[in-house]
Amino acid sequence: MQHQHKLLILYATQTGNALDAAERLAREAERRSCPNKLLSLHDYDPSLLPQEEAVIFVVSTTGQGDAPDSMKVFWRFLLQRNLNNHWLKGVHYTVFGLGDSGYQKYNFVAKKLDKRLMDLGGTTIVERGLGDDQHPSGYEGTLDPWMSSLWRMLNMIKPELLPNGPDVVIQDTMLIDQPKVQISYHNIENINSHFSTASDLTSPDILRSARSMHPGNSSSDRSGHPDCFLKMVKNLPLTRPNFGKDVRHFEFEFVSDAVQYDTGDVLEILPGQDSAAVDAFIQRCNLDPDSLITVSPREMDDCNGHGSRMPVKLRTFVELTMDVASASPRRYFFEVMSFFATAEHEKERLKDFASPEGRDDLYQYNQKERRTVLEVLEDFPSVQMPFEWLIQLVPLLKTRAFSISSSQSAHPNQVHLTVNVVSWTTPYKRKKKGLCSSWLATLDPSNAVGIPAWFQKGSLPTPSPSLSLILVGPGTGCAPFRGFIEERALQSKTISTAPIMFFFGCWSEDGDFLYKDFWLNHSQNNGVLSEAKGGGFYVAFSRDQPEKVYVQHKMKEHSERVWNLLAEGAAVYIAGSSTNMPTDVTSAFEEIVSKENDVSKEDAVRLIRALERSGKYHIEAWS
């Protein structure tokens, strides 16, 4: 296959950030007259890699150092033993990673990929860039300076790719005419009757059609094909009213056949959007909510583009795919807005936001305040963006993932969740709330709403009944362990099961002691959490006394028993907030090993790392 001089940009994304960064790179290449091709790793044939001239990989790290799903086949191919250290000779590459330095395996996937490509004989264009979610400007804080180096080095190595040099940029007015998508409007009389009558948001056909048409969905995305639909049957508060936090226990039944899941798995839900916000967005953008549309890539031939696409109402498309009132827009959104602003002061402010110099101002206005698309559009009333651009730039409405807090053996037709209903106040004292958790909290079990749902493997594998467990799960981190303990309690009725120690933490005994009766019940009368069975249940109430007490303090109080279980081959499972908890808990384990086994801190660290490698130390953390 003969390649013309082209820059190849390959991305692997889990939540869409890597796609955003890859698209930004493609736009900047285009502005420099650099021909380029942008592809998901899922859609690329890795055997063609030795034929490429210059490749940029943009990859995110998920969970505890995991590769995105769309990268897994590609990565397996790269690990083949028959690929030698000359396989990529002559191929110039670089890697940009997206990660979160709050996690132990920060940008692990990018680092691993960079090393493997180098081992296979690839030549780096520029040192890998590592974007950090913790940076005030997010990954763009690293991407901007990294790109400057990239174009400079690429111009030296492959000048034919940048015919005008690294700094000559085409005027954006030439590029702004062409959004990536085109919209076709349909006359209801000309449409198959099945299409014209389908308007139920929970119809699988409607959902599939709308989600598949959104440009933010890659071909590997499953979000148009739910595993099932659920209906809520219980919505119970677990915290005291007006306590300062609102944690709920939700129970769902399968509307269709039950999907098989294991303890430790994760449930993803597509949240509903607030109807008033959707209506306000449609009105602000002068759209007709009842028009029937299909959306297709601009380069797709029109007659081929819509054969398999079912027209949907514009309002339905917005509601199911465009996150108008929760996600903050990206910088490119402000850039495109500046072209459509007719008021000069708005145009200047938007241009400033979109410039590298205005990044701090944009951060203060947008990310720090978590402004939504709707709020931004209302702040700049002179901007009238074409719907094609809005579809391209409004963030895709994403599924939200929750650890499952039930055992299917105990509840055959159900799945349970333990959810913190998120709300906060911004620096400018604006009240904000989490989209999915707030939506779930408002659902009334007597009004059955079909909820699209997907089941995924989490980072907590299902333990065998003969495996001793040390569980650490403060707050809603207890969710997967409720499922573990339900399952083991059932198993213990027919077979001999190994002991479980569980360390739980919360603010206050009378405020947010989640599932209090459940844990206490299993920790008494020879239950699976009882000390009599070799386990135990220990709670840290952080605010019930003058000095703070956390789960790691309780672990150290019982360090001898913790060490004895570890020495007998127990597995460690940690779940909860990703801020400091996983690091603090891991440090506590290292201290316990050092003290009880009488070894140095370094040896204790090595022992915990060995547990990780052997699949006996698991962390599931979320921000």
* Region 469-622: CATH code: 3.40.50.80
Known binding residue 552? Answer is: yes
Per-residue pLDDT tens over the stretch 187-218: 876 665 444 444 455 578 889 889 989 887 76
Known binding residue 62? Answer is: yes
Known binding residue 436? Answer is: yes
pLDDT of residue 192: 55
pLDDT of residue 16: 75
The alpha carbon of residue 578 and the mean position of all alpha carbons in its chain are separated, in whole angstroms, by: 13
pLDDT of residue 573: 98
Known binding residue 63? Answer is: yes
pLDDT of residue 196: 41
436 C-beta neighbours (distance < 10 Å), count? 21
Tell me which H or E stretch contains 608: helix 601-613
Known binding residue 622? Answer is: yes
User: Average pLDDT in the 83-108 region?
Assistant: 91
More confident residue, 563 or 579: 563
**pLDDT tier for residue 607 given thresholds of 50, 70 and 90:** very high
Q: Where are the domains of the chain?
A: 7-170, 174-184+272-397, 201-207+222-271+399-458, 469-622
Known binding residue 543? Answer is: yes
Q: 201-207+222-271+399-458: which CATH topology? A: Elongation Factor Tu (Ef-tu); domain 3 (2.40.30)
Per-residue pLDDT tens over the stretch 170-193: 665 555 667 889 999 998 766 654
**pLDDT tier for residue 219 given thresholds of 50, 70 and 90:** low
> CATH homologous superfamily for 7-170?
Flavodoxin domain (3.40.50.360)
DSSP secondary structure letter of residue 488: H
> Is the Cα dihedral 435, 445, 313, 382 positive or negative?
negative
Known binding residue 394? Answer is: no
Known binding residue 454? Answer is: no
Known binding residue 197? Answer is: no
Known binding residue 99? Answer is: no
Known binding residue 476? Answer is: yes
Known binding residue 565? Answer is: no
Per-residue pLDDT tens over the stretch 396-415: 999 999 999 999 999 999 99
Of residues 264, 268, 270, 621, the one with CA closest to residue 458: 264
Known binding residue 447? Answer is: no
pLDDT of residue 121: 96
DSSP 86-112: TTTTT-EEEEEEEE-TTSTTTTHHHHH
Known binding residue 116? Answer is: no
Known binding residue 403? Answer is: yes
pLDDT of residue 173: 59
What percentage of the chain exceeds 70 in pLDDT? 93
pLDDT at 305 over 50: no
Most confident of 132-141, 327-336, 431-440: 431-440
Known binding residue 550? Answer is: yes
Classify 576 in phi/psi space as left (phi over 0), alpha (psi -120 to 50) or beta: left
pLDDT of residue 1: 40
Known binding residue 542? Answer is: yes
DSSP 201-228: TT-HHHHHHHHHHSTT--TT--TTS-SE
User: Average pLDDT in the 324-335 region?
Assistant: 91
> CATH homologous superfamily for 174-184+272-397?
NADPH-cytochrome p450 Reductase; Chain A, domain 3 (1.20.990.10)
pLDDT at 355 over 50: yes
Known binding residue 551? Answer is: yes
> Is the Cα dihedral 351, 357, 359, 361 positive or negative?
negative
**pLDDT tier for residue 308 given thresholds of 50, 70 and 90:** low
Known binding residue 168? Answer is: no
> Is there a shared CATH topology between the 7-170 domain and the 469-622 domain?
yes
pLDDT of residue 553: 97
What percentage of the chain exceeds 90 in pLDDT? 72
pLDDT at 222 over 90: no
Per-residue pLDDT tens over the stretch 461-516: 999 999 999 999 999 999 999 999 999 999 999 999 999 999 999 999 999 999 99
Known binding residue 380? Answer is: no
Known binding residue 483? Answer is: no
User: Average pLDDT in the 259-265 region?
Assistant: 95
The string over 4-26, giving b where at least 16 C-beta atoms fall within 10 Å of a residue's C-beta and e elsewhere, is eeebbbbbbbbbbbbbbbbbbbb
Known binding residue 429? Answer is: no
Known binding residue 613? Answer is: no
Rounded CA separation 365/376 (Å): 10
pLDDT at 304 over 70: no
**pLDDT tier for residue 591 given thresholds of 50, 70 and 90:** very high
Known binding residue 294? Answer is: no
Known binding residue 16? Answer is: yes
| Mean model confidence pLDDT for the chain | 90
Known binding residue 17? Answer is: yes
Q: Locate tokens 């709300």: which residue? A: 423
